[in-house]
């Protein structure tokens, strides 16, 4: 039984239940709660707690000894106190409960407010699983008649508290089913100019061969993969036997050249691809740019599937239809707009990325939260430490919401002709100046984190953004920048670099600010001095590293 409504999101973004709560596993004796819980916690990068084991540790006695010496009533009180404590802690966990946790109404109330999953097993199978030595350690498994009656009584209460999963398969299969359940997100549609792109924000690698078969039918396909995966194979290629894979000579931004584009176009021609065929691109934002450009050029438009492997590409670069390579040392000078047919995002892969790569993308997600989504802003602010630690469930929600907001804007203004996508430049004006000044020593994400902080100060001073909210958001930006902001460029360099900003129209600079979360404003004709003043104010109060 699947119920993917846990993460249902209303169009307004209000009334959502974020997966920052604990995941509780309930069920009768022998259901496998501990084994499944450990596997699930490992996959989700969450701590695991077995409540019975915790009570045994706290009392330095077995459950049987606690029952014998203090009675069941005492054990239930201790169990309830532990449940309350766990439910009040900040870090989300995967928790295997004791079989009798549901007997108290207060406990059921806690479980109902969380993500609670009931592993269901017949009384007969449960009795068989606790047979032998294990049964002797269970004080409530002395005779089958009483055991079956207790099972029937508790099962009604388990059903009251959460979603149901059969506990009959092996633990690995149960854990996989539960993982699919908690990570599922409805695909995000992106329709623009008569074309439709489907952004699948839950597409684990093992599902991709099936997705491809359903998508291409009898058509052919080619894979463009980041050279990193040639030098560090991870098994992905084995999912697509018989499909040729092309690797660029370079990695990262160095792959975005006309020479690499020519090589890819020649490979596509050599494979005799036609317009009904597909190019799959697996890599970061630089490679998705290169692949999308060639897909748009080849025979005036080849079908395209993007598989981003960096957080930044997942939440930004792969969504929007932009494609470009660098020319004469300048970024993105040769490009076009070409929507992919689909985007496949694997949150399980992304959660395992190094901390720095997660920060790069989270900066863009935090920007989207400030612009469009107060609940997402609250989630990132509250849970940033756990997000950076790789909590897959939290990261999955952030990826989904970021994709949803980006897709909504792109659908209205694919070619950036109406100015609707201007708001996405929040933090980029000063950030790009810092990035240009520092060169390759400063990453894009860290530069934008600084730019966001400057924009927040500007918003506080010029548009009345709440002081406490601005302070909290600047602290998040600082943490996303790695604990401290990069040094600001000299004022003269900022003024010079701002003169090249792409948002200048008729000699007037546009600067994006926010009045409140979800309420952006674009100031036109902003004097560089106002931006410099905000930067000085930021660094005047910046803690020393």
- To 10 degrees, what angle do helices 51-59 and 63-70 make? 60
The DSSP letter of residue 335 is E
Distance CA(105)–CA(135), nearest Å, equals: 27
- Counted residue by residue, the chain has a size of 545
Burial code (b: 16+ CB inside 10 Å, e: under 16) for 53-70 equals ebbbeebeeebeebbeee
Distance CA(455)–CA(431), nearest Å, equals: 10
SS (H, E, C) 456-507: HHHHHHHHCCCHHHHHHHHHHHHHHCCCCCCCCCCHHHHHHHHCCCCCCECC
pLDDT band at 130 (very low <50, low <70, confident <90, very high): confident
Residue 506 clears pLDDT 90, i.e. is over it = no
Distance CA(522)–CA(448), nearest Å, equals: 17
Residue-wise pLDDT tens digits, 275-312? 999 999 999 999 999 999 999 999 999 999 999 999 99
Residue 269 clears pLDDT 80, i.e. is over it = yes
Distance CA(157)–CA(232), nearest Å, equals: 49
Q: Are 347 and 335 in contact (CB under 8 A)?
A: no
pLDDT of residue 133: 44
Distance CA(317)–CA(314), nearest Å, equals: 7
Residue 354 clears pLDDT 70, i.e. is over it = yes
pLDDT band at 498 (very low <50, low <70, confident <90, very high): confident
Residue-wise pLDDT tens digits, 58-83? 999 998 899 889 998 999 999 999 99
Maximal CA-CA distance, the chain: 86
Grouping H, G, I as helix, E, B as strand and the rest as coil, residue 508 is strand
Task: Say which residues have a Cβ less than 8 Å from residue 129's Cβ, sequence separation at least 6.
Answer: 29, 30, 121
Distance CA(341)–CA(349), nearest Å, equals: 21
pLDDT of residue 12: 37
Q: Are 25 and 36 in contact (CB under 8 A)?
A: yes
Supply 409's token pair.
Answer: 């804007």
Residue-wise pLDDT tens digits, 94-108? 999 999 999 999 999
Q: What's the average model confidence in pLDDT over 264-276?
A: 96
Residue-wise pLDDT tens digits, 517-532? 999 999 998 999 999 9
pLDDT of residue 154: 94
Closest by CA to 212, choosing from 341, 397, 309, is 341
Q: Are 334 and 289 in contact (CB under 8 A)?
A: no
Half-sphere exposure of 497 (CA within 13 A, CB side): 21
pLDDT of residue 139: 60
Residue 7 clears pLDDT 60, i.e. is over it = no
Tell me the C-alpha to C-alpha distance, in Å, between residue 372 and each of 11, 459, 460. 12, 16, 18
Q: Are 155 and 202 in contact (CB under 8 A)?
A: no
The DSSP letter of residue 104 is S
Q: Tokens 């952004």 label which residue?
A: 199
Residue 33 clears pLDDT 70, i.e. is over it = yes
Give 410-413 contacts, CB < 8 A, sequence gap 24+: 410/190, 410/192, 410/319, 410/320, 410/321, 411/190, 411/191, 411/192, 412/192
Number of Cβ within 10 Å of residue 309's Cβ equals 26
pLDDT of residue 10: 34
Q: Tokens 């409540």 label which residue?
A: 51
Residue 116 clears pLDDT 60, i.e. is over it = yes
Q: Tokens 């997966």 label which residue?
A: 19
pLDDT band at 342 (very low <50, low <70, confident <90, very high): very high
Q: What's the average model confidence in pLDDT over 395-422?
A: 91
Residue 8 clears pLDDT 80, i.e. is over it = no
Report which of residues 44 and 67 the model is more confident about: 44
Residue-wise pLDDT tens digits, 195-213? 999 999 999 999 999 999 9
The gap from C-alpha 238 to its chain's centroid, in whole angstroms, comes to 25
Q: Are 213 and 242 in contact (CB under 8 A)?
A: no
- What residue ranges define each of the domains in the chain, with the CATH number in brackets? 4-183 (3.40.50.300), 188-407 (3.40.50.1970), 426-540 (1.20.1090.10)
pLDDT of residue 2: 41
Residue 523 β-bridge partners: 511
Distance CA(152)–CA(457), nearest Å, equals: 60
pLDDT of residue 205: 95
Distance CA(116)–CA(160), nearest Å, equals: 10
Percent of the chain with pLDDT over 70: 92
pLDDT of residue 140: 59
Average pLDDT score over the chain: 90
Residue 283 β-bridge partners: 308
**H or E element, residue 322:** strand 322-327
């Amino acid at each position: 039984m699947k119920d993917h409504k846990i993460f249902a999101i209303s169009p307004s973004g209000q009334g959502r239940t974020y997966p920052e709560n604990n995941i509780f596993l309930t069920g009768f004796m022998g259901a496998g709660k501990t084994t499944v819980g450990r596997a699930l916690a490992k996959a989700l990068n969450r701590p695991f707690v077995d409540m019975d084991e915790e009570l045994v540790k706290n009392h330095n006695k077995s459950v049987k000894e606690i029952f014998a010496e203090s009675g069941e009533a005492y054990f239930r009180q201790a169990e309830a106190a532990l449940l309350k404590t766990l439910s009040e802690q900040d870090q989300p966990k995967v928790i295997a409960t004791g079989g009798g946790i549901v007997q108290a109404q207060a406990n059921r109330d806690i479980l109902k407010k969380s993500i609670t999953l009931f592993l269901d097993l017949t009384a007969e199978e449960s009795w068989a699983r606790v047979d032998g030595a294990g049964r002797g350690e269970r004080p409530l498994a002395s005779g089958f008649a009483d055991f079956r009656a207790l099972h029937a009584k508790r099962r009604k209460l388990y059903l009251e508290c959460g979603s149901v999963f059969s506990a009959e398969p092996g633990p690995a299969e149960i854990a996989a089913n539960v993982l699919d359940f908690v990570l599922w997100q409805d695909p995000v549609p992106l329709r623009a100019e008569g074309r439709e792109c489907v952004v699948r924000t839950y597409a684990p690698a093992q599902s991709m061969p099936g997705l491809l078969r359903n998508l291409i039918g009898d058509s052919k396909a080619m894979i463009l993969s980041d050279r990193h995966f040639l030098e560090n194979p991870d098994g992905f290629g084995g999912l697509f036997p018989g499909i040729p894979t092309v690797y660029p000579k370079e990695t990262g931004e160095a792959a975005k050249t006309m020479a690499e584009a020519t090589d890819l176009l020649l490979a596509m021609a050599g494979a005799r691809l036609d317009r009904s065929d597909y190019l799959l691109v697996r890599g970061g934002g630089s490679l998705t740019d290169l692949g999308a450009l060639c897909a748009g050029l080849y025979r005036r438009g080849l079908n395209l599937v993007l598989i981003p492997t960096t957080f930044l590409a997942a939440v930004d670069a792969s969504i929007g239809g932009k494609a470009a390579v660098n020319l004469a040392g300048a970024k993105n000078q040769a490009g076009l707009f070409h929507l992919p047919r689909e985007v496949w995002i694997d949150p399980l892969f992304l959660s395992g990325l190094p901390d720095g790569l997660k920060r790069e993308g989270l900066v863009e997600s935090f920007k989207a939260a400030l612009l469009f989504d107060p609940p997402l802003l609250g989630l990132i602010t509250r849970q940033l430490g756990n997000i950076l630690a790789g909590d897959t469930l939290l990261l999955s929600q952030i990826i989904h919401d970021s994709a949803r907001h980006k897709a909504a804007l792109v659908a209205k203004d694919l070619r950036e002709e109406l100015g609707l996508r201007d708001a996405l430049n929040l933090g980029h004006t000063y950030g790009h100046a810092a990035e240009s000044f520092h060169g390759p020593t400063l990453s894009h994400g860290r530069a934008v984190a600084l730019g966001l902080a400057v924009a927040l100060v500007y918003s506080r001073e010029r548009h009345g953004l709440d002081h406490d909210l601005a302070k909290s958001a600047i602290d998040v930006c600082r943490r996303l920048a790695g604990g401290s902001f990069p040094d600001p460029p000299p004022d003269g360099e900022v003024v010079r670099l701002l003169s090249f900003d792409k948002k200048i129209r008729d000699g007037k600079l546009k600067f994006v600010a926010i009045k409140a979360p979800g309420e952006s404003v674009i100031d036109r004709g902003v004097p560089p001095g106002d931006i410099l003043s905000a930067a000085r104010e930021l660094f005047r109060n910046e803690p020393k590293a």
